Structure 1
């Protein structure tokens, strides 16, 4: 009997280095489509907007809905992995992403596209954290650094490949191929998962009821705020019911959740006691605010390059390679600096660099030299790695190990939902200056001037919570 159980466990989670690396490479392919999808779609926002006769304010939901659904699905993924086989959950999520991609590709209007994007985002919100969780289980403390380096490849290359591939697809086919291209990637990954991925049966001791009430409150909180911001941008009237009602729903959901989490600390999806740790509180807030610099900027930059610089979609993708290259250069060094000196000064210096490299875009025009724009994009990329990586690392500093799973869920949600709110805010800024009619060059220049000023100011404000991140002294090191 003991021998049978041992054989079952071995089959469920293999421990040989060779099998670990093969599974890690499968995970790279599994995560590739969801990771590329956001950057590819951003490059096509302007084309989709024109083809579907939409507005910036409406079409921003193509990005916001995806990122919001992704962020809200993360806690669901953390619960589901303890309820069913990890392999089965991955298969279901991939099929969901496949259906969402197909629905987005065949869309002929904005509502159809949004429906597909929501399905895509929810599936991606399960796939990405699930892939990391399963690899951690498989590593079992061995070859962890090597495995995580392999699994991290999609994160490194998505900002470089996404805009270029997306631009080429639109140039030679149509924006629909931004979603069709996912189909062969997902099918190939699905076949490999079916053939080679272990089952990852859940431990019965980890099973617990899902906090449905708390989950619904979180959905109401963030959805209400995003809808309020979007409706406000339509006519710049704060007092209208279409703004006040969703805004108050969001605030009420927040207040109810705080009371609920205090009274039911063991049931709450996101425990309030996480925020007793100053480093975690600062990290969660910073990850939420980093959406303005990361997701918001990635939404605004392609629109700026196409509408102000009049670049084609494929050239816009080529330009954005500079930003991805900057991220790639600093990715490994930032980790070493954080380990040596703590997150505080690495993040603060990176935020200052981000502000300095964002402000020039408010003043760039059609006559600005190409080399200057490319240089600023590269420097902007350098600063991005110096923000997200140290903050993610510092969110676990001094935290009770029992709270690590909840902390992981909270930080991932903060980052993704912050990005969706940031995108909605920037779309509102652009729409408020462009108006609903055909915008003149002067109107568009004014709109993007204010957009990048908003990004710069939001990034500068983030320096305040960064002061509460950890710092390592020479004695501690």
Structure 2
């Protein structure tokens, strides 16, 4: 006789997904995704309300994205130890707690604690949803699958800034976090009622790699702290810069030695990088943080400080960015499945550079239609980067390495985003200094910021040359 859990196991045939479960997991991912874009729109308001600086307040974004990235390997391990459904429920409750703490915050320290809890929970929710959906699809039609998984990424830039701007206008920035509560509650109810159990894999149970995890935490935390401290007075030789920087370097070298000597223990196996497509994808996802997370941090600040837009109008402007992403997303997956990722990504990166550079020269007098057009075109290019890279990261991989590949790519994307945010905040802070920022100072700060984004995006073309190309069969 079947137990209740046995009857709820997914039984989708190869290449198909349980669409009900997929839609539930998309809803589950909406809260973490919306939270990021809503918070970006409120950074300037939070900065003023808590009497903070750009360098300090960037941790509201960086701490969230860094915690998210560092929690991803924990999710990869836990999915083999616990029921996927139970793990999803625990992560959602943790995100709910983090949202409450962030909403109740009356100072930067309390806000950062809440953001770290939120980020850690999101770092489990997002890759877990992806992994479970890949299991349902059984490795088939990955370009289409990445388009489905990426739906929250599309709607977040469209809904997040607008909703966030309205919440700040009519209530306060605290509601940027309180609004998560009803979304999480609804998602929890649906997960409990309809999501398959996804039993753990007893054959893959193993102790968690605490040594590797500690080295990875030290690597990326040290790097972000070094960047942030350097921006305070632009002096590289200070102990506050060198110490975390050297810690990051030591942790990187330590992890490479450790993973090479004990490959079976390693959290992120080095053998993943024997696959050229995967290596290129991981590097690109790390670098894409500058174009995606970094740009979403800089754009709201630019629109509110240089263009003097209200939070609501800033959100309205950013709808153009999300609309551009929505237009291309439905076709990018199909094109990638047919032709491969290489030229889709290269063309999109070139377009991203071309649409970013004008923002370095935009001023308060620049026509609104021109800014909206550039935002829309920028959105068109972004879907052509993330979807093909994510799908190509699984090309030619041993199916047994898919969980580790998912962990590595998600870490690369999110940690790259946190580092990009820290770098851009450092650029802005370096130009503005500790004095009251004048119009000229802000113009210089955002000129350098968007040039950094454009250059970083252009450099990403190099690893894109190693992505896959498919030859279409001739009838």
TM-score by length of 2: 0.95
Q: Distance in 2 between matches of 1:11 and 1:41?
A: 37
Partners of 2:143 and 2:387 within 8 A in 1: no
Q: After alignment, is 436-445 or 113-122 more displaced?
A: 436-445
Deviations 1:141-176 (A, max 9, x none): 899999876654322211111111111111111110
When residues 329 and 143 of structure 1 are mapped into structure 2, their CA distance, relative to the original with a 3 A threshold, is closer
When residues 379 and 15 of structure 1 are mapped into structure 2, their CA distance, relative to the original with a 3 A threshold, is closer
Q: Which stretches in structure 2 are left out of the alignment for 5+ residues?
A: none
> Match for residue 262 of structure 1?
260
> Match for residue 157 of structure 2?
159
> Match for residue 198 of structure 2?
200
Q: Distance in 2 between matches of 1:91 and 1:157?
A: 23
Out of 27, 36, 39, the position equivalent to 1:38 is 36
Deviations 1:107-166 (A, max 9, x none): 111111110000000001111122233344456689999987665432221111111111
Out of 260, 272, 284, the position equivalent to 1:286 is 284
> Match for residue 124 of structure 1?
122
Deviations 1:201-236 (A, max 9, x none): 313112111111101100000000000000000111
Partners of 1:76 and 1:126 within 8 A in 2: yes
Q: After alignment, is 111-120 or 263-272 more displaced?
A: 263-272
Superposed displacement of residue 89, structure 1: 1.2
Partners of 1:20 and 1:147 within 8 A in 2: no
> 3-state SS of the aligned residue for 1:364?
coil
When residues 57 and 322 of structure 1 are mapped into structure 2, their CA distance, relative to the original with a 3 A threshold, is same
When residues 401 and 196 of structure 1 are mapped into structure 2, their CA distance, relative to the original with a 3 A threshold, is closer
Q: Distance in 1 between matches of 2:128 and 2:71?
A: 11
Q: Distance in 1 between matches of 2:24 and 2:404?
A: 26
TM-score by length of 1: 0.94
Q: After alignment, is 360-369 or 131-140 more displaced?
A: 131-140
Partners of 1:362 and 1:451 within 8 A in 2: yes
> Match for residue 81 of structure 1?
79
> Match for residue 69 of structure 2?
71
Q: Distance in 1 between matches of 2:135 and 2:272?
A: 24
Q: Distance in 1 between matches of 2:155 and 2:301?
A: 22
> Match for residue 111 of structure 2?
113
Out of 408, 411, 415, the position equivalent to 2:409 is 411
Out of 179, 184, 189, the position equivalent to 1:186 is 184
Partners of 1:14 and 1:198 within 8 A in 2: no
> 3-state SS of the aligned residue for 2:8?
helix
Aligned length in residues: 474
Q: Which stretches in structure 1 are left out of the alignment for 5+ residues?
A: none
CA RMSD of aligned residues (A): 2.3
> 3-state SS of the aligned residue for 2:267?
coil
Superposed, 1:236-315 pairs within 5 Å as 236-315=234-313
Out of 379, 382, 395, the position equivalent to 2:380 is 382
